[in-house]
């Protein structure tokens, strides 16, 4: 039997990523998904006084998706789009580490992470056409080697830490610091691929259509 072909007039539903992060875009592209629009929003990401890291990641993931969904609804070509939002939070115990913009912040994070384990929480929210929401929270444990002063200085000089939760990028130079990881690597980068595609497929999005006939 010959393999059935997909009808030529098949139209994939629109997909919106509620982020301007190159990392999240690259992760989606890795599994064959090309968003039809990037709709980032400017949110206040300050944690509440007693807010736990996992709660913050879940809340910000939902808020980002909801903000993007509101924009998408105002655009006829995106009104029936699937919208994905995500946020990543790095923590040591109950302490939430910042998304570093200053070298002093990144230095404090590296000193705290050196030689110990920490947790990375990523909250993912999918909003489907009609407004229904699905959520996932992923927790990954990461252990760093003990960093020397010269390693810290070199990493700070690289500037790779800028804008990164916890002051490092595991997919970059900081990958050399990681002794052990328990959980989802892609979640630490910014978007857990298994959970994201599971949410999409579970809601009827033909996420694997682009895999057909790939060389």
Catalytic residues: 87
* Dihedral Cα 25, 28, 34, 38, nearest 10 deg: -40
Q: Dihedral sign, CA of 11, 16, 20, 22?
A: negative
Kindly report the number of other CB atoms within 10 A of residue 176's CB atom. Answer: 9
Of 134, 133, 124, the residue nearest 194 (C-alpha):
124
CA 99 – CA 167 distance, rounded (Å): 6
Backbone φ and ψ of 137, nearest 5°: -125, 125
Residue at token pair 């580490």: 97
């Amino acid at each position: 039997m010959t393999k059935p072909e997909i009808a030529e007039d098949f139209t994939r539903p629109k997909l919106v990523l509620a982020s301007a992060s190159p990392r999240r875009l690259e992760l989606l592209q890795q599994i064959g998904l090309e968003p039809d629009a990037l709709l980032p929003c400017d949110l206040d990401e300050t944690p509440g006084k007693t807010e736990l890291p996992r709660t913050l990641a879940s809340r910000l993931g939902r808020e980002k998706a909801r903000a993007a969904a509101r924009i998408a609804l105002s655009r006829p070509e995106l009104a029936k789009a699937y919208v994905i939002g995500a946020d990543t939070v790095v923590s040591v115990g109950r302490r939430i580490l910042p998304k570093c913009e200053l070298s002093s912040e990144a230095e404090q994070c590296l000193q705290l992470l050196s030689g110990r384990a920490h947790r990375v929480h990523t909250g993912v929210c999918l909003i489907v056409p009609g407004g229904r929401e699905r959520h996932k929270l992923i927790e990954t444990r990461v252990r760093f080697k003990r960093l020397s002063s010269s390693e810290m200085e070199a990493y700070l000089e690289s500037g790779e830490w800028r804008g990164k939760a916890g002051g490092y990028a595991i997919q970059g130079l900081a990958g050399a610091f990681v002794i052990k990881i328990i959980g989802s690597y892609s979640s630490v980068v910014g978007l857990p691929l298994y959970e994201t595609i599971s949410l999409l497929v579970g809601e009827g999005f033909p996420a694997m259509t682009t895999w057909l006939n790939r060389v």
